[in-house]
Amino acid sequence: MPREVVACQSDREADMIRTRPCIRSGRFPSFEGYAHMNRAIETQVLIVGAGPVGMTLALDLAWRGIDVVVAERRRPAEAPSVKCSQISARSMEIFRRLGVARVLRDAGLPADYPNDVVSCTTVTGIELSRIPIPSRGERSGPAAGPDAAWPTPEPPHRINQTFFEPLLFAQVAAHPRIRVLNRAEVEQFVQDERGVTTTARDLDSGEETTIVSTYLVGCDGGKSAVRRAIGSELRGTPVIQRVQSTYIRAPELLSLLPGKRGWLYFSLNPRRCGTTIAIDGRERWLIHNFLYRGEPEFDSIDRDWAIRTILGVGPDFRYDVISQEDWIGRRLVADRFRDRRAFICGDAAHLWIPHAGYGMNAGIADAADLAWMIAAVLTGWASPGLLDAYEAERQPITEQVSHFTAGIAELIMKQRREVPSDIEAPGAAGEAVRARIAREAYAIDVQQQCCGGLNFGYFYAQSPIIAYDDEPHPAYTMHDFTSSTVPGCRAPHVWMDGRRSLYDALGPSYTLIRLDPAARASGLVAAAARRGVPLAVVDLEAPEAALYGRKLVLVRPDQHVAWRGDAEPADPLALIDLVRGARVTPTQAAAAATERATLSAP
Ligand SMILES: Cc1cc2nc3c(=O)[nH]c(=O)nc-3n(C[C@H](O)[C@H](O)[C@H](O)COP(=O)(O)OP(=O)(O)OC[C@H]3O[C@@H](n4cnc5c(N)ncnc54)[C@H](O)[C@@H]3O)c2cc1C
């Protein structure tokens, strides 16, 4: 049984922890108080959990020159259960910056396997609607479909977590700045003004290790013990729907598919609706049987019957169960993402029914947001006040995504409850019913499977480190978005000099994008230099650059806009201090936290 992580807050408890033996390398002079320890690992950041979010955070911190230790219960490269099947475009943009996008894109479904999303009566039955989504081979050339023209250097990528986690792990394990402690379970930590001291147990030998770090980040999943240890609670709807998920091997199924193959099938029939996802494009499939209201237990429905009904196959159809997982779709967001030096990211901070493929991908966005902030503080050019921006930015966004996904879940549940009994009827009457349901299904499916708003539309509206102006943020939905340089938005992507991504030209820290080569930038450059803030200047000339709308746009290390103007601000140093977190007062931070708590109160 995994043990609970305990955050020891009192001096007495802290003293008890500090008497544990540890090794001291002496590299971090701020840890003078731990000098008596004779067996400890020291690092700048300890990450608890090497799931996709913990590994992304580790890679991003290391990319920014930070030393990281990752403690993970699992064995090296041990595959997770079959869960997330897609990496969003925005996540792929992050992986592109980290230099791992190519490795991930070269894996997954076979290059020519269609990524289409199909609604049908059953997987082997009548097709109702189809969203064309380019295969990964087609992504390299001109492609068609609702997401094909998205303004990004990295379109979405269909690959299951079982395949990409080991690939990500190989990158993490090979990185000289990252040390992974596998089979290590974090049990407790204590923090004070100097740092965090954590105890982890080796699950094979039973030995204890002490890890001394400046910061700790819990990326330890939905049952996060770090979340509990920092006194954070999940708020929202604890049960939206129960789901029976079964991972099967069925070599016959591909040959039974009518017409062009698809990646994801939504079965709509009056007997049993469900979702089927191609995992390897050959013989492995993941089938989600979303239980209906009035089916309160996971075993309310016969699993084999449900699988055969969703697929539309008879008793002779053969399949093996590789694994099965029963889980609950929720809508929960943590009421705080941080306690002083300890943070939470990913499923540790929010859990929702993963419609739109935005469970893991929202966690990857958390990691990208937090990584640059911690790195900036540790590198010395930002004030610790910068870290207040993490919760202020990510909590409202994840709250919003949780409502989007709960909303789509309601639509899907309604759609499934109301499938007409004559949907499979022959002739004109049946066809008319199918045409109507096809239109409705397409409208629901395209929102979530081509969720441009979740990828590119979200913006940070309440951040203490963004200089807002008078223009309101453009509204967005799960599906729709408007690229914009309103501060807080993702900097619009444009191609430079033909096919060079603007994102590849940005510096690792702040970048001032200059749309008019005559615009003066020397004041900002000098102010940044005075505060030690790395600032690159990029002159942008591209036909699409008009949508930047201003002569100067200051872009953050995570590609969001921090400020814009047609001329430098009157006080460039004040702006630089704002964006490096030096103007966030404790009062401002407390007021923002209170406002957020009010907004997210049930
Ligand atoms: C059936 C299903 C389908 C899904 N489909 C999608 C999808 O299509 N798109 C999408 O975006 N998301 C999807 N999700 C959600 C997605 O899988 C999760 O959001 C994602 O795995 C979260 O990543 P994480 O790194 O935050 O947490 P996890 O993947 O849970 O990783 C946490 C890690 O922490 C480790 N750990 C925990 N406690 C400790 C400790 N005390 N000490 C050391 N290590 C510890 C665990 O071993 C684990 O490796 C799906 C989920 C399910 C269940």
Task: Convert the pLDDT of each residue in 333-366 to its tens digit.
Answer: 999 999 999 999 999 999 999 888 789 999 999 9
Tell which atom from ligand 1 comes closest to the C-alpha of 222: 30
pLDDT above 90 as % of the chain: 84
The CA 524 to ligand 1 mean position distance, Å, reads 41
What is the rounded average pLDDT of the residues 570-588?
Answer: 86
Confidence tier at 594 by pLDDT (50, 70, 90):
low
At 186, is the secondary structure helix, strand, or coil?
strand
| CA distances in angstroms from 365 to 153, 368, 427, 446, 458, listed in the order given | 17, 5, 49, 22, 11
Question: Which residue, 324, 340, 332, is CA-closest to 288?
Answer: 324
Confidence tier at 22 by pLDDT (50, 70, 90):
very low
The CA 221 to ligand 1 mean position distance, Å, reads 5
Position 588 scores a pLDDT of 61
Who lines ligand 1 at CB under 6 A?
5, 48-54, 71-74, 80, 83-86, 161, 185-186, 219-221, 225, 245, 327, 346-347, 354, 357-361, 363
The CA 326 to ligand 1 mean position distance, Å, reads 14
| CA distances in angstroms from 410 to 66, 268, 287, 463, listed in the order given | 43, 15, 20, 31
Contact at 8 Å (CB) between 402 and 331?
yes
Which residue lies with its CA nearest to atom 14 of ligand 1?
A: 84
At 244, is the secondary structure helix, strand, or coil?
strand
Radius of gyration of the chain (CA): 25
Tokens of 256: 């039974």
Residue to mutate (ligand 1; options 6, 73, 182; most atoms within 8 A of CB): 73
Which residue lies with its CA nearest to atom 15 of ligand 1?
A: 359
Which residue lies with its CA nearest to atom 6 of ligand 1?
A: 84
Tell which atom from ligand 1 comes closest to the C-alpha of 2: 41
Position 590 scores a pLDDT of 66
Beta pairing class for 510-514 and 552-555: antiparallel
Least confident of 129-138, 541-550, 564-573: 541-550
Position 293 scores a pLDDT of 80
pLDDT in tens, 183-199: 999 999 999 999 999 99
Tell which atom from ligand 1 comes closest to the C-alpha of 345: 26
Which residue lies with its CA nearest to atom 52 of ligand 1?
A: 83
The CA 225 to ligand 1 mean position distance, Å, reads 14
Question: Which residue, 269, 293, 280, is CA-closest to 82?
Answer: 280
| CA distances in angstroms from 492 to 9, 203, 496, 518, 564, listed in the order given | 44, 46, 12, 22, 13
Position 25 scores a pLDDT of 30
Does residue 143 have a pLDDT over 90?
no
Position 32 scores a pLDDT of 37
Residue to mutate (ligand 1; options 6, 234, 360, 454; most atoms within 8 A of CB): 360
Confidence tier at 4 by pLDDT (50, 70, 90):
very low
Does residue 597 have a pLDDT over 70?
no
What's the CA gap between 502 and 542, in Å, rounded? 10
What's the CA gap between 502 and 491, in Å, rounded? 10
A 10 A CB-CB count for 498 gives: 6
The CA 98 to ligand 1 mean position distance, Å, reads 21
Question: pTM for this one?
Answer: 0.92
Provide the residue count of the chain. 602
Residue to mutate (ligand 1; options 84, 95, 324; most atoms within 8 A of CB): 84
Which residue lies with its CA nearest to atom 30 of ligand 1?
A: 221
pLDDT above 70 as % of the chain: 90
What is the rounded average pLDDT of the residues 34-41?
Answer: 58
Which residues contact residue 600 at a Cβ distance below 8 angstroms, ignoring those fewer than 6 apart? Answer: 235, 333, 335, 395, 399
Does residue 7 have a pLDDT over 50?
no
Which residue lies with its CA nearest to atom 18 of ligand 1?
A: 360
What's the CA gap between 582 and 588, in Å, rounded? 12
A 10 A CB-CB count for 436 gives: 13
Which residue lies with its CA nearest to atom 42 of ligand 1?
A: 185
